[in-house]
């Protein structure tokens, strides 16, 4: 008698909570009773999407491992789509199971991989399931886009200051907050007034809102955030980053962009919504943000020579400057990994990278730059090679930019061709919408690439890009050294000669972590220093 296993799956957490999977399990029991089959084991992926491969699901992985150990001969599934939601995933799962001698049978569909006809029918059904899924998604997408253009709110977190009315449209929320004589819209207006008209920084505005006891959206709506596998309450306070996001959000001046929050390539649909602040006030807020940023840099107590140039080898984020209390209470400046001050990057939690003393690392890098400028020797050839590479890269980027601009212009011509075909009644209105959406997506992708290229070109237009030869650059840098260069000039020199600085934190024998600092220059091979807390090279 065949040894039988049953695999069941439902995709959403909501289905898991409602125990929808029990329907499949109950059907499996009755099916096996009817056909007098003995069930060896049950494999239940409850609340697991079918868009991921079988081996990436908890019970799916156990199923494959047990199949390799020859624990069962026949696998029963309620429907083919329980194995996966695409033909590729379904057929890969069937292949992996059959390689281990397991046959697959659907309890509700007419196929069994135990014979050639069954395997052929399985392939056909997998293709049909894939086609149905893609067709449904496509129809939903086009329907959602039509509704979005009409101004409908199609789900997601409603911006603070708004609510969705019974017809499904955004409207300004003028309902008073509990315990306050203010509405959400009033809070939004207050934020803009503080920053745009009274010159508040985002930090000062956040402190003011917290002092007033104004609840954030998460607190007001009782929402929680996911931390690991659990959902927890937020701190419930206003943060400068949240204030800034609200200030740059075009929704508050009456323009919402649908599709901006998704990671998928799709058309951004701008639509009009009720404005809480005027275009003039919104624009003043943007100018105030820019002025505050410039003023913060101008009034900074310390200037960091290597700002934005030090990368963390542990989490990949950038180091930034900060200061701690040192001997006798005097502040001591360090470079600190950005992953240590916020939950960001690929790590779970905060980064554990070592802090680097500002004076030590800046002296290390600056001394190397000065030594090269005064005694270039053979390193001048290395700099010349680097300059040639940069110039060739810039030329290639300029050429690519021009080609993309031509392609963007051709997209407009394609649109006109589509409209001509529609006027001649060769294609339908649905065909027009599909083709227009495709062209819009392609154009948006090209325009994004142009922006990226322009950013790369601008980064190449440093001190290096102003000179034809390495000798000219070296002569100019040496002249600047002779005049006791101020911070701005030293910063320019460093940017011209330093590619990047990588800090890797590694364990040591005595338990104290080591910092391996690698400086990459334009004029030499990488220079690496391994240091402990004393910031002296390790013997």
As annotated, the active-site residues are 11
Nearest CA to 525 among 399, 385, 361, 338? 385
Cβ contact 528:516 at 8 Å: yes
Q: List the one residue out of 61, 294, 85, 91 whose CA is nearest residue 199.
A: 294
Q: What is the DSSP string of 396-416?
A: HHHHHHHHHHHHHHHHHHHHH
Structure-block tokens of residue 349: 């939690």
- d(CA 539, CA 536) in angstroms, rounded, equals 9
Taking the C-alpha atoms of residue 74 and residue 40, their distance in angstroms, rounded to an integer, is 10
Q: What are phi and psi of 507, to 5 degrees?
A: -75, 160
3 state SS of 377 = coil
**DSSP states along 282-303:** HHHHHHHHHHHHHHHHHT-SS-
Q: How far apart are CA 438 and CA 449, in angstroms?
A: 17
| Beta-carbon count within 10 A of 44 CB | 17
Q: Are 50 and 84 in contact (CB under 8 A)?
A: yes
Query: What is the distance between the alpha carbons of residues 219 and 235, in angstroms, rounded to a whole number?
Result: 9
Query: Which residue pairs, CB below 8 angstroms and at least 24 apart, start in 142-148?
Result: 142/430, 142/433, 142/434, 142/437, 145/258, 145/267, 145/269, 145/433, 145/437, 148/258, 148/259, 148/269, 148/271
Write b or e for each residue in 331-348: b if 16 or more Cβ atoms lie within 10 A of its Cβ, otherwise e. eebbbbbbbbeeeebebe
Helix (H, G, I), strand (E, B) or coil at 204: helix
- Of the candidates 111, 16, 107, 113, which has an alpha carbon nearest to the alpha carbon of residue 59? 16
Nearest to 380 by CA among 190, 521, 531, 172: 521
Size of the chain, expressed as the number of residues it contains: 539
Q: What is the Cα–Cα distance from 398 to 450, expressed in whole angstroms?
A: 10
Helix (H) or strand (E) holding 93: helix 87-99
CA 510 to CA 532: how far, in whole Å? 11
């Amino acid at each position: 008698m065949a040894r039988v296993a049953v695999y069941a799956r439902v995709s959403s957490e909501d289905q898991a909570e409602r125990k929808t999977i029990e329907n499949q399990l109950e059907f499996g029991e009755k099916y096996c009773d009817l056909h007098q089959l003995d069930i060896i084991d049950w494999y239940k992926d409850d609340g697991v999407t079918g868009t991921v491969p079988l081996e990436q699901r908890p019970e799916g992985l156990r199923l494959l491992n047990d199949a390799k150990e020859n624990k069962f001969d026949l696998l029963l599934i309620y429907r083919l789509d329980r194995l996966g939601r695409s033909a590729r995933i379904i057929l890969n799962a069937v292949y992996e199971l059959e390689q281990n001698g397991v046959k697959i049978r659907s309890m509700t569909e007419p196929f069994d991989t135990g014979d050639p006809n069954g395997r052929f029918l399985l392939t056909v059904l997998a293709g049909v399931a894939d086609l149905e899924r893609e067709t449904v998604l496509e129809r939903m997408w086009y329907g959602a886009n039509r509704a979005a253009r009409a101004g409908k709110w199609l789900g997601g977190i409603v911006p603070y200051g708004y609510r969705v009315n019974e017809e499904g449209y955004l409207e300004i929320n003028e309902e008073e907050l509990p315990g306050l004589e203010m509405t959400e819209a009033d809070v939004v207006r207050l934020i803009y007034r503080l920053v745009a008209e009274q010159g508040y920084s985002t930090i000062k505005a956040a402190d003011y809102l917290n002092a007033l006891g104004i609840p954030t959206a998460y607190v007001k709506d009782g929402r929680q955030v996911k931390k690991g596998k659990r959902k927890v309450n937020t701190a419930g306070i206003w943060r400068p980053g949240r204030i800034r996001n609200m200030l740059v959000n075009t929704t508050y001046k009456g323009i919402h962009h649908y599709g901006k929050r998704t990671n998928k390539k799709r058309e951004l649909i701008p639509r009009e919504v009720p404005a809480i602040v005027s275009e003039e006030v919104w624009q003043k807020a943007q100018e105030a943000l820019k002025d505050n940023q410039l003023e913060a840099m101008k009034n900074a107590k310390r200037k960091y020579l290597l700002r934005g140039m030090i990368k963390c080898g542990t989490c990949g984020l950038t180091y930034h400057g900060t200061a701690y209390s040192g001997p006798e209470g005097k502040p001591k400046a360090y470079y600190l990994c950005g992953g240590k001050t916020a939950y960001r990057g690929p790590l779970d939690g905060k980064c554990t990278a070592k802090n680097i003393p500002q004076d030590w690392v800046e002296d290390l890098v600056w001394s190397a730059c000065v030594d090269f400028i005064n005694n270039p020797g053979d390193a001048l050839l290395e700099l010349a090679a680097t300059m040639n590479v940069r110039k060739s890269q810039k030329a290639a980027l300029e050429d690519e930019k021009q080609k993309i601009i031509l392609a963007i212009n051709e997209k407009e011509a394609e649109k006109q061709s589509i409209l001509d075909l529609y006027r001649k009644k060769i294609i339908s209105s649905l065909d027009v919408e599909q083709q227009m959406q495709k062209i819009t997506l392609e154009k948006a992708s090209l325009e994004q690439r142009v922006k990226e290229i322009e950013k790369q070109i601008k980064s190449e237009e440093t001190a290096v890009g102003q000179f034809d030869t390495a000798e000219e650059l070296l002569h100019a840098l040496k002249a600047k050294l002779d005049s006791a260069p101020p911070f701005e000039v030293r910063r320019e020199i460093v940017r011209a000669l330093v590619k990047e600085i990588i800090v890797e934190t590694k364990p040591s024998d005595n338990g104290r972590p080591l910092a391996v600092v690698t400086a990459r220059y334009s004029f030499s091979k990488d220079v690496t220093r391994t240091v402990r807390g004393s910031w002296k090279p390790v013997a």
